[in-house]
Amino acid sequence: MALIEDYALIGDLQTGALVGRDGSVDWLCLPRFDSPACFAALLGDEDNGHWRLAPAGAGACTRRAYLEDSLVLESVWETDDGTVKVTDFMPQRDRAPDLVRIVEGVSGSVEMRSVLRLRFDYGAIVPWIRRSDGHRVAVAGPDSVWLRSEPPVRTYGEDFSTRSEFTVEAGETVAFVLTWHPSHEARPRLVDPHESLRHSLEDWREWAERCRYRGPHREAVVRSLITLKALTYAPTGGIVAAPTTSLPEEIGGVRNWDYRYCWLRDSTLTLNSLFALGYEDEAAAWRDWLLRAVAGDPGDLQTIYGLAGERRLPERELSWLPGYERSTPVRTGNEAVGQLQLDVYGEVIDSLYAARGGGLGGGRPHAWNIQRCFLDFLKDHWREPDEGLWEIRGPRRHFVHSKVMAWVAADRAVRTLEQDPRLPGDLEGWRAMRDEVHREVCEKGYDKERNTFTQYYGSRDLDAATLLIPRVGFLPPDDPRVVGTVDAVRRELRRDGLIRRYSLDDTPDEAPVDGLPGGEGAFLACSFWLADALCMTGREKEAREMFERLLAVRNDLGLLAEEYDPRAGRQLGNFPQAFSHIGLVGTALLLAGEDTAH
């Protein structure tokens, strides 16, 4: 089983594939990020679906890299018989998704082997495969996949797989194209693999050149932006948290979740970063997705939505998949969709406030009406306990971060009315709410003895989310309570230099706050938050050291998962993770003096 960081991401802005160092595509959902996988070896083994294309008998590639500022992957094998490279990419689609793999001989004469095992519905269904016009066609239920090569190579069926064997000489190329379409429709038009490669490189280079960041970490920032763009579902503007499900937060543990959906709390940092770096179109598309997704009864606001704003994302377990390194269960859907997470109201209102400040006119004429409805709801409900931003599966509590974000909601609404008095709204009522929330958090969520904000009222446990208190403007960075909280989090949640999300060492007579057994790795976004907090509290040298430590955690392609195990030296959780890359961009901007926080 490959390490999580051994994978590369390719995609077409509607789905994504993970390609291992050995040339195997072990994860691909078609036609969307949240569709059932046709390659699911990532969560099982080869019998659950994969496509390996590499020199016969070879292991991992000698080297690999993305071609310039693109999502086009080039893997090179140096063998005793010669050198060959494989270029993998998914061109932005016209209608049907295509996975293109181009083999090119560099020197000598190399024998190549392709082994394709299609397994629809997350590895559960073996399709019927036939020949048609020289192509291989796999069909099962609603899914149909076509495989062709240019020029044609010897292809045969064996052991429920489709195999090809051929030799490439220096200067020769063989291109494979795998195309999905609904089985009841006719085969879509054929794409030219070489022309598609040229267009893909041009599109990505043109997009990357728009980045305004010119600081010392441009390579890391641009790669993170490309990753965030790759996680965008282009038809709607939504951004998935990750293209994978059930990659574990602890090897062998049960903290395995489906992240192929859109989290509202990503919106503020995403909007701010996109605006700051010159991507107004993407920011506007995300803003419009947000408005469509949250429309309706404010009491029904969810923290998670589908790619087009779908609300029903039922969680189920796929019993036939053994899980990544035997980490079960494997889940699809996400039960957190039904949780009460009060911080989301603050994040939505903050996002729309940022949109207005960034020149998007407040996010459409009805955006302000939506915010007013949210404030009316929050005025009546902010005192209630909730599940918090970490989507705990234990009892509801009065989480400090949730209350702080309720303050953010009132604060941004007050600021909006102060900046544009013509807008309707309860200015005095929102000011009163803002003041009341602030007083209560400082009274009930702060431990005077230890000089730190805690995870929830009455607790001694800590939460890395309290590092955001100065970032959102709840207290100034030089406030002694902020400095004390930064020091306490760094001292008590640190794990070999990185930061965990929250305390997991409750006293024996208490249930774990998240209601789950086992542990997890250091949370990378929280580690970026610590770097931010150190910078804001005047400890720039330490902030830069933390940032460099985090950059070193990236894999060779600049990609980050959700978490990291410093002791084992490996990434954990779904991969690549939008939240981690948003954190990287935000910290780079802050260190460069281009902070986008309010």
From CA 493, how far away is CA 323, in angstroms rounded? 28
Beta-carbon contacts of residue 289 (< 8 Å; ≥ 6 apart): 236, 237, 238, 262, 309
* Structure confidence at residue 367 (pLDDT): 84
Task: Say what the pLDDT of residue 300 is.
Answer: 85
- Selected from 2.60.40.420, 2.70.98.50, 3.90.25.10, 1.50.10.10, the CATH number assigned to the domain covering 4-186 reads 2.70.98.50
Closest to 166 measured CA to CA, from 116, 117, 101, 109: 109
> What's the number of CA atoms in the CB half-sphere (13 Å) around residue 262?
28
Bridge partners of residue 155, in order along the sequence = 164
Q: Listing from the earlier edge strand, what are the strands of the sheet with 563-565?
A: 522-523, 563-565, 570-572
For 431, other C-beta atoms within 10 Å of its C-beta total 16
Cα torsion 23, 27, 31, 36 to 10°: value is 150
Top CATH class, 214-591: mainly alpha
pLDDT for 403 equals 98
Query: Sign of the CA dihedral 189, 195, 197, 201?
Result: negative
* Percentage of the residues of the chain whose pLDDT score is greater than 70: 97
Could you check whether 4-186 and 214-591 share the same CATH topology? no
CA distance 104 to 151: 12
Domain segments of the chain as ranges: 4-186, 214-591
Residue 473: the pLDDT is 97
Q: Which residue has the tokens 């003041």?
A: 435
| Separation of alpha carbons 429 and 435, rounded Å | 10
- Stretches where the chain sits below pLDDT 70 are 267-268, 360-365, 505-512, 595-598
Tokens of 509: 């007579």
d(CA 269, CA 501): 18
